[in-house]
Structure 1
Amino acid sequence: MQLKKWLIAVPLAMTMLTGCSLLERLVYRIDINQGNYVEQEAVNQLKFGMSKEQVRYVLGSPMLIENGYPDTWYYIYHHTEGHHFSEQKDLIVDFNDQGLLMEVSGDFPASKNFFESIN
């Protein structure tokens, strides 16, 4: 009698455990967005020689400004869509000692008009 219970319980438990992993794949997971969402249109508005205040107005506050390097701003955006792989986009903005924009690098290229004068 005891053996019959085990013969029923073990396969039933195995089936339920397998069902958990299948159920996990079917369950909806929310999208997770973290950091600064930056669009190429905003990066296209940046011009060589802009002040930090002007860059902050266009892009918003940076995600990271390192203590030892206050003239380098990091805009980092991390997106995880449900069960898919994570995606990260970075934008690095460098200023000179006077606080004027010198360089834009990362996943968003500077516009062709980057070196034109500021209106």
Structure 2
Amino acid sequence: MPAILKRRPWLLVAAVAATLFLGACSGFSDRTRGALSAVTPYKVEVVQGNFVSKEQVAALKPGMSRQQVREILGTSLLTDVFHANRWDYVFTIRRQGVEPQERHLTVFFNGEIMDRFVGDEMPSEEDFVATLDTRKKSGKVPQLEASEDDLKKYAPKDKDKDGKSDTAAAASAATVPPLPAAYPPLEAAR
């Protein structure tokens, strides 16, 4: 046995463990590897910035004050000290199973008055909400009307097995004992 292994026996244990581990890894079949590759880690949903809809952009008109723009769009994500006459609205969303979305809108001011705006084509609120829904939709819509044959299956029968009519049985089940005239006190008298 080499001198180093006499002084550090844990090296021998580590080498044997590594050899056994590598040998076990080579035993994975293609089927096992395929199953392991199908497992994906959870990715956190990342939403940054202000969502600006098509309706909000349509409400912007040149000549509005900064306060009016802020009331329509909200506070801008980026306000640059070196470009005080420019507000940038940036919106990004990254979700598992959905393609990432990124939208930009820049509003330019001349002093305290909005001069113009430029940016991406914004979706309507309805379109945006539809892109967030990742549930699988089945193409088949259930039938909501019953046919005459379906209704006949569930029609009430005239007599039950005791010979009583269904309406008499329902009336006897509906009889409830009368309520007491007075209820006992909730707390005991002291």
Q: Secondary structure at the match of 1:70?
A: coil
Q: Secondary structure at the match of 2:67?
A: helix
Change (3 A) 1:63 1:7: closer
Normalising by structure 2, report the TM-score. 0.46
RMSD across aligned positions (CA)? 2.9
The 8 Å contact of residues 29 and 83 in structure 1, kept in 2 or not, is answered as no
The structure with higher relative contact order (CA 8 Å, sep 6+) is: 1
Change (3 A) 1:14 1:53: farther
User: Who is 2:92 aligned against?
Assistant: 78
* 1:94 equivalent in alignment to 2:114: no
1:62-97 per-residue CA deviation (whole Å, 9 max, x = no partner) reads 000111111100000001121444221000000002
State the alpha-carbon separation in 2 of the partners of residues 32 and 12 from structure 1.
39
Q: Which has the larger radius of gyration?
A: 2
Normalising by structure 1, report the TM-score. 0.71
The one-letter amino acid of 2:26's match is P
Change (3 A) 1:85 1:12: farther
The one-letter amino acid of 1:21's match is S
Aligned length: 103
| Structure 2: 5+ residue stretches without partners | 1-15, 123-190
1:87-109 per-residue CA deviation (whole Å, 9 max, x = no partner) reads 21000000002x10111101147
The 8 Å contact of residues 51 and 101 in structure 1, kept in 2 or not, is answered as yes
1:11-33 per-residue CA deviation (whole Å, 9 max, x = no partner) reads 34687676443211xx5545321
Identity %: 28
The 8 Å contact of residues 93 and 103 in structure 1, kept in 2 or not, is answered as yes
Change (3 A) 1:86 1:6: closer
* 1:10 equivalent in alignment to 2:21: no
State the alpha-carbon separation in 1 of the partners of residues 27 and 38 from structure 2.
15
State the alpha-carbon separation in 2 of the partners of residues 93 and 9 from structure 1.
61
| Structure 1: 5+ residue stretches without partners | 110-119
